[in-house]
Amino acid sequence: MTSRIPEAGVRIPADVTRIVVLEGPEDKTFFSALAEQLGINDQLHFITCNGKDCLGSTLENILNDGNFHGIQQIGIICDNDFPDSRDGRGALETVQDEIDEANNAIDESLKTTRKLPRPRKPRETEGTKPKVSVLLLPDDHRDGMLENLVLDAIGEDNITNCVDAYYACLESQAQVKLQKAREPRSRLSVYISGKIVDKTYATNDDSRRWFLTQAVDMKWWKDEKMWDKPQFKPAKAFLRQLLKP
C-alpha cells in the first residue's frame, strides 16, 4: 500500500480550470518556464506532489477541494522511472493505481459526484470533467527522467564529449559503480558546471548557477535557443492540450 502523506499546501483558487501535477520543485520550475515561453503560464495551476508515492494524496486533496467542480483538465507529469525504483510496476500503472487510491480515499459524501478517470495511454486524455492525461519523461518508451530529456535536447558538443569521458573514467579507472537512476541528474550538473567556467558564459549570476532549475535562466540556454529544440515538442503539445475544451 502506498504511503499517503497529505500535502497541506494544496488549495485550488476559485478561477483555476487547468491543473498540472508534477513530482517535485525542479519539474515545476522547468514546466512553468516552458509554459511561460508558450504564453500560457497564467492559464495553468502547478502543484507538486513530492514524488509518485505521494501522488495519490495530492489527487485526493484535489478531489476534496471545494473548487473541484471548476476543474476541466488535470495533467500529470512524472518520470518514467528506472526499473530498480518501480517495484515491478510501470510508471503509467503507478499513476493509475494512485488515481484509484485517491478515488477510494475521498470523503464518502463526495464519491458519487467526484471521480478521476484512469488514462489508458500516455499523452491521451481520458474522461470528461475533469479530463486527465499523463506525460512520462523523457518519453513513453524509455527509462529516465526530466534530465534525460534536457540532455537529449543539448545533444553532442565539446562539453558533452568531455562529460562522457569523465563518466567513462569514473567507471573504468576509479571503479565507481554508477547508479543509472542518479546518473542523468549528475551528468547534467557536470555539463552545467562546464558552462559556468566557460569565459563566454561565466559572468554575473550565471557563474553561480549549478542546477537545472537555474540553467533555464542562463545565457547559454537563451543563446542556444534551447526552448526551440525539437525534443521539447511533446512537452509543449501536452501543455497546450490541457487548454482544449
For residue 38, give the 3-state DSSP assignment.
helix
The answer on pLDDT for 118 being more than 50 is yes
Contacting residues for 19 by C-beta, under 8 A, at least 6 apart:
12, 44, 45, 46, 47, 62, 71, 73, 74, 75, 130
Q: What is the pLDDT of residues 16-51, one digit of tens each?
A: 999 999 999 999 999 999 999 999 999 999 999 988
Contact predicate 145/184, CB 8 Å = yes
CA torsion sign, 50 to 146 to 96 to 43?
positive
Helix (H) / strand (E) containing 56: helix 55-64
Give the model's pLDDT for residue 7. Answer: 44
Q: What is the pLDDT of residues 143-159, one digit of tens each?
A: 999 999 999 999 999 99
Domains and CATH numbers, the chain: 18-142+234-241 (3.40.50), 146-225 (no CATH)
Contact predicate 178/170, CB 8 Å = yes
The answer on pLDDT for 4 being more than 70 is no
Phi-psi group of 51: left, alpha or beta (phi > 0 → left; psi -120 to 50 → alpha; rest → beta): left
Rounded distance between C-alpha atoms, residue 151 and residue 89, angstroms: 26
For the whole model, what pTM was predicted? 0.89
